[in-house]
Amino acid sequence: MTSTVPASGEEFNNASIIALAQAGIGEDVLLAKIASVPCAYDMSTRSIVALKDMGVPNAVIAAMVERCARSSDAQGAGAGTAGPSIKRSSGLYVDLGMAPDHNLIKIRPTTASGGRMTGSSSLLFPFGLRMGISRVAAQMIVTSAQLRFYFYFEPDDARVGNFGSSATASAQSPSEFSLVRFSTKNGQREMVVGKRKAFGANIGINPKDAIQFSIEEIGDGIFSVTPSVLSAGQYGLVLRAGGEAYRVYDFGVSAAGDL
């Protein structure tokens, strides 16, 4: 959504629709207005219910939803400055803005697979399986240590948009992701995804190695995720995509002036 303000400078949003509908403006005029301006509507479930309660016709609400869906699909990673409650194309976004402004940028995933074994069979140095990601650093670098992410799911899609594939079970919530800090070895980033000791083995990312984050459900498949303060380094929000493959939404945190 490149703009939320029509060319006239007048903001046209949910309140504008309600005002016109209650003034007796016909559906045909409202539909024409919606088609002529960028999406600046809040299409969360509670907002749709509020529109209906205020007398906005179903056809007008449907046109608002469709207008925002077309805008989000067309813009993709450029979903930008509009508020996070406005539905975007499914995926994971990092908010690079400063409150109350937003600047949501989509993070494209990469895949970690294969791996190498470390350690020995001893109790002090158990076997560890490390997955590698090519390149020593992520393409997405941020300077803020206090980050906020937004997950946009499509609940009606069995594959949940970008979070799954036709061959895997898909995530339904950010709670299925792990936030990890990568170590660097031989020009690539690595994460531990399994350990084997003399009396057993653990497969997957150990919760003790994961960084904690809070989750807030906004509605309509939208979640806000806020990690604890992150020091400079390489990180990723990681989803196990089946077998020994992991889908990684990677990013780097750099102290201001280090870029």
Same domain for 137 and 192? yes
pLDDT at 98: 73
Structural domain count of the chain:
2
The per-residue pLDDT of the chain, averaged, comes to: 75
The HSE-up count of residue 27 (CA atoms within 13 Å, CB side) is 9
Which range, 6-15, 60-69, 73-82, 229-238, has the best average confidence (pLDDT)?
229-238
Confidence class of residue 97 from pLDDT cuts 50, 70 and 90? confident
Instruction: Give the CA angle between residues 185, 188, 189 to the nearest 5°.
Output: 85
Q: Indicate if 116 and 48 belong to the same structural domain.
A: no
Give which of 232, 172, 181 is closest to 206, Cα–Cα: 181
Considering the domain boundaries, does residue 92 fall inside one? no
The pTM assigned to this predicted structure is 0.60
Higher-pLDDT residue of 75 and 198 is 198
Whether 156 and 239 map to the same domain: the answer is: yes
Domain membership of residue 111 (yes or no) is yes
Statement to judge: residues 194 and 136 lie in one domain: yes
- The domain in which residue 191 lies consists of 107-253
pLDDT for the residue 233: 92
134 pLDDT band (50/70/90 cuts)? confident
Answer yes or no: are the C-beta atoms of 165 and 155 closer than 8 Å: no
Question: Is the model's pLDDT at 197 over the cut of 50?
Answer: yes
Residue 18: per-residue pLDDT? 93
The reply to whether 116 falls in a domain is yes
Pairing assessment for the beta strands 233-242 and 245-253 based on DSSP bridges: antiparallel
